[in-house]
Amino acid sequence: MLQSLLALVHGRVLTDEGLREDVAVLVHDGHVLALAAADDPRVAQAQRHDLAGALLLPGFIDVQVNGGGGLLFNDAPTVDTLRGIAQAHRRFGTTGLLPTLITDTADTMRAALDAVDAAIAQSVPGILGIHLEGPFLAPARKGIHDASLFRTPVADDLLALTAQRRGVVMLTLAPEQVEPSVIARLAAAGVRVVAGHTAADYATARAALDAGVCGFTHLYNAMTPLTSREPGVVGAALDDPASWCGLIVDGHHVHPASLRIAINAKPPGKCVLVTDAMPPVGSARPDYVLNGQTIVAREGVCMNDAGVLAGSALDMASAVRNTVNLLGLPLAEASRMASAYPAEWLGLDQTHGRIAPGQRADFAVLDDTLHVRETWIGGERQAV
């Protein structure tokens, strides 16, 4: 018998074939060993954890997390901050995330890169890499970002972004602000280059896709729209079958009909749930300071005094619920949009995003109302 064998039993397990109630999930050494029948002798020999009929889904993966638990990554780009943000999101089923640095100085960007590298080296649960949202963005589509810090990349930026590091590096940029040759260099080095906060036209966005852009940050928001004679960035995103689109499904950022249009336009697997979460997620405090402005979350919407959206108060479990309840998608597909599909976007699909032999034992346990009861990372039940 394998030592430390764990069996998760009596759950409704989301497998590659759909929900199954006739299997136990065997976990060993932080990974799924097998999906076993109830009468498999290994189940009887293992330490058993009874799910009592709950839903067992792959742990959620969020590629855009600015903050949580009252913490903002920009305020203190340290390992302790990352630990606190990841812990705050864990209670909502998020087992992997990219802490996201909003446009800031070159020094802060380097500190953030180093902090994420150190957090992964220290095995901080849930940290998969980093998402740099800026500073190579377009003033015309700045949103809440500080346009005074916008710039074009220089040699030192490219060295920092392409250096050997632990984890994934995702970079949101405006294609009209960065030469296609630079995009190609970043993509060739393994950076996940995505387009966002951009005023580009369709042709510029299409050229960026050809150069190596692999996705779009919070589709529809802070980018040129699809119109009759100028498809814009939204049109380029929906027209391109290979790229991924991040969707904020909070009922505020994008109309449900627009979200359904994007999901129907893209091939299966190319729409990914993101939160764009800010410090109020997992915190009792609704307010925080960003770029000297006080932002307040009211009824799930984070805005400054002028009514500009400043990230969200969304968590991944709520995003999954909203995808089912607002958009009418099946739970299995909503779950994949929060797990398998982001894992593919990040190049982690061999180890993350599914409940299958060989995958990491990262799970979200949900009740029938799709609220999280338990979160597991690497086969360990997490304190939340």
Catalytic residues: 276
Each residue of 54-73: b (16+ CB within 10 Å) or e?
bbbbbbbbbbbbbbbbbbbb
Closest of 130, 98, 175 to residue 342, by C-alpha: 98
H or E element, residue 184: helix 180-188
Kindly state the helix (H) or strand (E) to which residue 332 belongs, with its residue range. Answer: helix 331-337
Q: How many CB atoms lie within 10 A of CB 382?
A: 19
CA distance 134 to 171: 7
Contact between 331 and 260 under an 8 Å Cβ cutoff? The reply is no
Which residues, other chains included, contact 179 with Cβ-Cβ below 8 Å and sequence gap of 6+?
none
* Closest to 324 in 3D by CA, of 271, 370, 382: 370
- Cα angle 209, 178, 168 (rounded to 5 degrees) comes to 65
For the chain, what is the total number of helices (H) and then of strands (E)? Answer: 11, 24
303 half-sphere exposure, CB direction, 13 A CA radius? 10
The first and second tokens of residue 151, run together, are: 């710039």
Is the Cβ–Cβ distance between 131 and 123 less than 8 Å? no
CA distance 281 to 314: 7
The residue type of 74 is: N
Gap between the Cα atoms of 177 and 173, Å rounded: 8
Report the length, in residues, of the chain. Answer: 384
3-state secondary structure of 22: coil
- Side-chain half-sphere exposure of 331, counting CA atoms within 13 A: 18
